[in-house]
Amino acid sequence: MSDISEKRVVVITGSGGGIGCATAYRFSKAGYEVVLLDMDLEAAEKTASKIGVGDDHCFQTDVSSQNSIRETIESVLLKFGQIDALVNAAGIPGKSARFENYPVEVAEKVLCVNIMGTLMMMQAVLPSMQKRGEGSIVNFGSVSGHRGYPYESAYGASKAAVIELTKTAANENGCNGVRINSVSPGWVDTNMMKQTINGYKDVGCECTYDNVRLGPMKRPADPREIADVVFFLCSKEASYINGSDIVIDGGKITE
């Protein structure tokens, strides 16, 4: 096996986004070989530049396509030899709309990317982890998957499903050395937050970045604060954490 495959390898989907980029940086800082997946290859390459790895660490991957995922994971295993950690950060918010008006085609896309993307990524990576008898997967839920926030029925449903997928997969794999957990952020200072707040205008909500309800800490999370928790869950220090969903929202969910 080459020197590069002897390093620990993490695969991060949605690596071009704010949380994905911060997560890539956190793993890179710890000495991981970081593999960057994103539908937008240019966005993944920007993250690669920020963390100091080459474009050969980037893969254009559509997580709503099983073929795209399979081709990517086969290429990753061929190039890097193993996958020690998988972070399923890819996701889309959909649009803001009342439940009875929510466009079915938009809901289908949100559910496909957020639920099926997570499911198919796990299915593609798990066999190699099971064979080696070790590995960690972190999926992305959301506080929207815990409570029914207005105007995000598809997004909330998708994140609730991801949390349950995580628990089921963790139950099945806990005995073979693979741990599977999820994190559920509240507001995070990313482009997705801005996009969601702007979308509230479609339902007559004059919510802005400055007056949105943020919870008792009165601020959104920095993406690095989410990345730190994700990294911890993949570390040996979290060796007995399996099937958990860690809420990272500054207490917003308690309001």
Residue 255: is its pLDDT beyond 70? no
pLDDT tens, residue by residue, 129-175: 999 999 999 999 999 999 988 999 999 999 999 999 999 999 999 99
User: Model's pTM, two decimal places?
Assistant: 0.94
Average pLDDT over residues 16-31: 98
Q: Is 155 a catalytic residue?
A: yes
Confidence of residue 195 (pLDDT cuts 50, 70, 90): confident
| pLDDT at residue 112 greater than cutoff 60 | yes
Tokens 């509240």 correspond to: 186
**CB neighbourhood size of 186 (10 A):** 23
Residue 222 has what pLDDT? 96
- Produce one character per residue of 217-230: b if its CB has 16 or more CB atoms within 10 Å, e if not: eeebbebebbbebb
Q: Where are the domains of the chain?
A: 3-254
Instruction: State the average pLDDT over residues 203-229.
Output: 85
Distance CA 163, CA 212 (A): 25
- Interatomic CA distance for residues 70 and 56, integer angstroms: 18
How buried is residue 71: exposed, middle or buried, by Cβ count under 10 Å (0-12/13-18/19+)?
Answer: middle
- Using one digit for the tens of pLDDT, what is the confidence trace for 36-69? 999 999 999 999 999 999 999 999 999 999 999 9
> Which is catalytic among the residues 155, 200, 209, 240?
155
Report how far residue 151's alpha carbon sits from residue 6's, in angstroms, rounded to the nearest whole number.
47
Residue range 3-254, CATH number: 3.40.50.720
CA-wise closest residue to 83 among 42, 46, 37: 37
Task: Give the containing element (helix H, strand E) for 158.
Answer: helix 153-173
Q: What pLDDT band is residue 212 in, cutting at 50, 70 and 90?
A: confident
Q: Whole-number mean pLDDT of the chain?
A: 93
**Better-scored residue on pLDDT, 154 or 213:** 154
Q: 64-106, pLDDT tens digit by residue?
A: 999 999 999 999 999 999 999 999 999 999 999 999 999 999 9
d(CA 210, CA 58): 35
